[in-house]
Amino acid sequence: MPEQRAQLLAAAFRRASIGMALLGTDGAFLDVNDALCDLLDVSRADLLGRAARDVTHPDDRPDDDTQVRRTLDGAQDGFERRRRYLRRDGSVVQAQVRVSLLAGTSGEPGALLLQVQDVTAVQDLTERLHLAVDATQDGIWDWRPPLGTLDCTDRCVLLGGVPLGGRTLRAWWRALPPGERPRLLRAYRRHAQGKADVIDLEFRQRGADGVDRWLALRGRVTARDGSVVTRVTGTLSDVTTRVQAQRDMQVLLDNLPAMIGYWDAGLRNRFGNRAYLDWFGKTPRQMRGRHIRDVIGADAYRLNRPFMDAVLRGEAQVFDRTITDAAGRERHTELRYVPDVQGGEIRGFFALGTDVTARRRAEQALREQRELARVTLASIGDSVITTDPHGNVTFLNPVAQRMTGWTNEDAAGQPIETVMPLLDETTLGAAPNPLRAALRRREIMGMVGGTALRSRSGALFSVEDSAAPILSESGELLGAVIVFHDVTEARTMALRMSHLAQHDTLTDLPNRVLLRDRIAQATTLARRRGTPFAVLFLDLDHFKDVNDSLGHHAGDQLLREVARRLTGSLRASDTVSRQGGDEFIILLPEVSSAAHVQTVIGKLMAAVTAPYDLDGQAVHVTLSLGAALYPQDGADPDELLKHADAAMYRAKADGRNRHHFYSRALHGEIQRQQQLRHDLRAALDAGQFWLAYQPKVNPASGELLGAEALLRWNGPDGPVSPAMFIPVAEETGLIVPLGRWVLREACAQARRWSDDGHALPVSVNISAAQFGETGFLETVQEELRASGLSAHLLELEVTETILMRHVEHVQRNLAALRALGVQVSIDDFGTGYSSLSYLHEFPVTTLKIDRSFLAPGRSGPQATALITAIIGLGRALNLQVIAEGVEQPAQVRALLDLGCAAMQGYLFAPPLPPAAFEAWRRDWPAQHAALTAQA
């Protein structure tokens, strides 16, 4: 019987489907079966007597020697490892190896039984999967609880912050933030117990590369042995961009005055901004997930239920309610229920509430202020498509399926160009797919800019992407992956912003930036060709009269019509640019002579001076024009523009309604400008500057609120307008020492008034150069200390432009000023280009409504709406609002009706020297009484 058993074992050894061998204690082959010979492509005779390490991959031999030695020494019964073996032709075979110790007759180590399972195909497939997964930027993990093992991709290791070589469950647990460990355990237990579909957890963690990220860990149980979980797999994704976008959106929504909430189809709360939560007196934790009936009460629920039913049928609802808020105040509220429809399914609705209590007093004003926020759900991930080495599609993720219109079944085996046809957005001609280049060059390739994807349904998407080859460990090309996303909206916005940055908003003509670029191009081309070109500087004569008599609306209409006539009188290659106000510059890049330019000028003068019909009113305007030619009048854009400007001013000086070519004689004009600069430099030392003070008042109560210090200059030849010398001071840098002098004098005067028992806040205008100067804060502190003035009696007026330069620096300066007690006002508010977001980022105290909103002709609904919006904004943010440029009693009445009680303007007093200001102060009660009587 033992002999028969031995024969059966020998037969099983020989016929086994996996490779088997007996090794001596010296590691040499004692016997091998056919399967092992076939696997290594050698004969039995080739192996017998040879050392097993001879056919083992060199990189695997050290560990193999160690494990064999431990087994022979009795430290372990055997071992199982992944090994690589060398075939006769030198190629590598991937194998799963099990080695067991066979004892001799006396119990000593007799031999080693080697079992070899070919896993090359499995390894290749695993590599393909890992490479494809890595291309998606997600990490993959595989946890086997009974074995205590955790397998993961390199991306997972990087994101998880696990040290190199530490792919163990213990290392992962140590790397996980301590505060997240209980959350992960709870999420796992809920899923394992069937209480949740997946394990889903988001947390912040520092990666192995030292970068802090927001990560999303998701997984599910994929194998059980009865009730015991034996395998859990999942992903680890970098969701930093999405989380930050959500937080930014939350900050934006929390700073909106409107109340915004979101209720799902089950009428449970999923979101509320700060105003919404404050209305109910709830925190996010107290609100989220609660049924609407529990939040608003049974009576209100019954009253509002018909509106909820309607919105959940897809019908938007608008209705008014008088509601008692959490503070017990009865408020009249306009409510809007807007359905949230996704893919034809109603997921819930947005509840938008606006406190319209004040509408009874100012219905039109609140309509202008009301802004409704529209919340966008979290963005989807990128689209991913993989192909084989020939560029035929093998896989599309769900996002790619939605964008292309192809399912995995339909797309399988199709060329990438069929499933993902790319077009040049400009020509709509076919564009190359970067995946082809990635396959050909075996390197990462990006898409050419301005590329669009045409979906199966014919829809076009602007896309950005990159493609990468998928290579095996040995360098074999396995296929490629392309990752792309829809940038249609972003690209459209970028084009729009680019256009706005280079064009005038009123006329849509090229602005100063684009004009200078085109003049620079014309200079380069003319220098290369040796040909001339011309620059024309145009200014409408007495344009201010149109604004003053017919209003700014008519003035804007006139400017648009002038722009149209100028453009229509020129060639497509010429450029008409508006510089602001009523100034235009024209570039004629291709002219033959001065006579040619003269002909063009005649055509332009005739076009512009023809009558205009402005809302039924016939208007005639004339034009002053200056011309400069390249190269005789200037060799660069700055010189040409300066000389054309000088020629234009000569035309105005000669009586307007004419043109003038630049000549040497105009050089004197430039010299006079230089003289102004020289006089300005000497004026400060000569004591030619003085400050005038214009009062700020409350015309309703008669209270004197403060005064604005305004700089004046008595030059050698008499008073010089600030409009002339302030730009020169800014251009030369003299504005900084001049601004410090103004600050010193204003502080000293305010202290004198305070000592006389008439303490009065004084405001000082601060230029951009002065505000950005190193040591500006120290300058303010020094002047306050030197004058002995209380900081709360000093107000600094800055423009929106200053605020939006170097935001972080501005925030620090303003915070420091406010810490001192200095007040900060935004001058000319509403005329800049900045975002309203800075109002809660910068610690300002006052908004000044620009005088342009009160100018004659600007009293229509639009101007009123803008003023109302600024007043409402100031009230909502607890900021004082003051209107400047008040010149008429009707303006006072209108501003008071709109809720603006602080005013400044010639109606009350012009800028006055200190002594005259004191006299005015004494006379103000009588003047106020007269104004009140007029009202």
Give the pLDDT of residue 833.
Answer: 42
* SS3 assignment for 631-657: CCCCCCHHHHHHHHHHHHHHHHHCCCC
Which structural domains are found in the chain, ordered by start?
2-118 (3.30.450.20), 137-238 (3.30.450.20), 242-369 (3.30.450.20), 383-493 (3.30.450.20), 507-662 (3.30.70.270), 676-934 (3.20.20.450)
The DSSP letter of residue 895 is H
Give the pLDDT of residue 370.
Answer: 33
Give the pLDDT of residue 365.
Answer: 39
The helix or strand, by DSSP H or E, that contains position 755, with its residue range, turns out to be helix 735-755
Which stretches of 756-888 are DSSP H helices? 768-771, 776-787, 800-803, 807-820, 838-841, 861-876
How open is the CA angle 684-686-690, to the nearest 5 degrees? 60
Per-position DSSP letters for 61-111, written without gaps between them: HHHHHHHHHHHHTTS-SEEEEEEEEE-TTS-EEEEEEEEEEEE-TTSSEEE
Query: Does the pTM exceed 0.85?
Result: no
Return left, alpha or beta for 878; rule: phi > 0 is left, psi -120 to 50 is alpha, else beta: left
CA nearest to 26, candidates 49, 47, 10, 43: 49
Residues 6+ apart with CB under 8 A from 766: 739, 796, 797, 798, 802
Residue 626 forms beta bridges with which residues? 537, 660
Parts of the chain with a pLDDT under 50: 1, 362, 364-380, 833
Gap between the Cα atoms of 227 and 629, Å rounded: 91
- In the numeric block, which tokens belong to residue 33? 């079966």
- Cβ-contact 539, 597 below 8 angstroms: no
Gap between the Cα atoms of 712 and 692, Å rounded: 7
